[in-house]
């Protein structure tokens, strides 16, 4: 049974507005595939538990991975009194992503992503999953050696913003009693009756 503010103890969120982990990785790979036009299966998560077979030399493909998530320092907490009441914790995150491109059209694909992120319809699709572009960086050559052969690679650093919202079971205060102790006046007691 989940705790509420009435039971005491730690509170876990009852819902979260955006995905993390596999859900977020999938959104990012779909974004890259959709904007670059690379074929199905050619945009993959950067780090995988069991890495798939390296695509053939001469294939155009990309690897996408989250390198850093930086939260804003303060979260907004909004109480919603409907039903028994809940608290909503809102926070913004800056998400840094590295997209690496391979194949004979690697610079073209990277530039297509960089420029396509400026198109209003693409930004609208990103907004539908809670992502907004802050910055698309330089195209940086980063060749790597694989099977004793140099493979061309170009990296594109991307920075996104997104809002996270979590709902916690913090119930409405139905009644209270206490005392007001002003600096110069005598103490005054109060009671807020339950409705």
pLDDT (tens digit per residue) in 120-137: 999 999 998 889 999 999
Q: What is the pLDDT of residue 193?
A: 76
Stronger pLDDT, 3 or 42, i.e. the higher one:
42
Q: Which of 9, 195, 171, 5 is nearest to 79 (CA)?
A: 171
Q: What is the pLDDT of residue 1?
A: 55
Close Cβ partners of 165 (under 8 Å, ≥ 6 residues apart): 16, 17, 18, 88, 89, 90
pTM of the model: 0.82
When mean pLDDT is compared across 57-61, 113-117, 191-195, the lowest value belongs to 191-195
Q: Rounded to an integer, what distance in angstroms lies between the CA atom of residue 126 and that of residue 149? A: 37
Angle between helices 21-36 and 106-116 (to 10 degrees): 100
Q: What is the pLDDT of residue 195?
A: 64
Q: State whether residue 181 is helix, strand or coil.
A: coil
Q: Could you read off the pLDDT of 37-77 as tens digits, one per residue?
A: 999 889 999 988 888 888 888 899 999 999 999 999 989 99
CB atoms inside a 10 Å sphere around CB 189: 8
When mean pLDDT is compared across 14-23, 33-42, 111-120, the lowest value belongs to 14-23
Q: What is the pLDDT of residue 179?
A: 77
When mean pLDDT is compared across 20-24, 58-62, 67-71, 186-190, the lowest value belongs to 186-190
Residue 186 binned pLDDT confidence (cut-offs 50, 70, 90): confident
**Mean pLDDT for all residues in the chain:** 89
pLDDT at 189 over 80: no
């Amino acid at each position: 049974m989940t705790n509420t503010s009435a039971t005491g103890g730690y509170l876990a969120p009852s819902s979260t507005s955006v995905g993390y982990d596999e859900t977020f990785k999938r959104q990012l790979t779909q974004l890259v595939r959709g904007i670059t036009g690379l074929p199905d299966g050619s945009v993959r998560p950067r780090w995988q538990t069991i890495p798939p077979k390296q695509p053939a030399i001469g294939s155009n493909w990309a690897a996408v991975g989250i390198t850093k998530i930086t939260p804003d320092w303060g979260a907004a907490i909004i109480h919603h009194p409907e039903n028994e009441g809940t608290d909503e914790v809102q926070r913004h995150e800056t998400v840094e992503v590295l997209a690496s491109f391979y194949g004979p059209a690697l610079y073209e694909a990277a530039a297509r992503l960089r420029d396509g992120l400026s198109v209003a319809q693409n930004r609208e699709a990103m907004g539908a999953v809670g992502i907004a572009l802050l910055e698309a960086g330089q195209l940086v050559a980063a060749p790597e050696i694989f099977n004793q052969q140099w493979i061309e690679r170009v990296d594109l650093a991307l920075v996104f913003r997104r809002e996270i919202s979590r709902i916690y079971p913090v119930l409405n205060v139905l009644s209270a009693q206490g005392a007001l102790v002003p600096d110069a006046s005598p103490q005054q007691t109060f009671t807020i009756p339950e409705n």
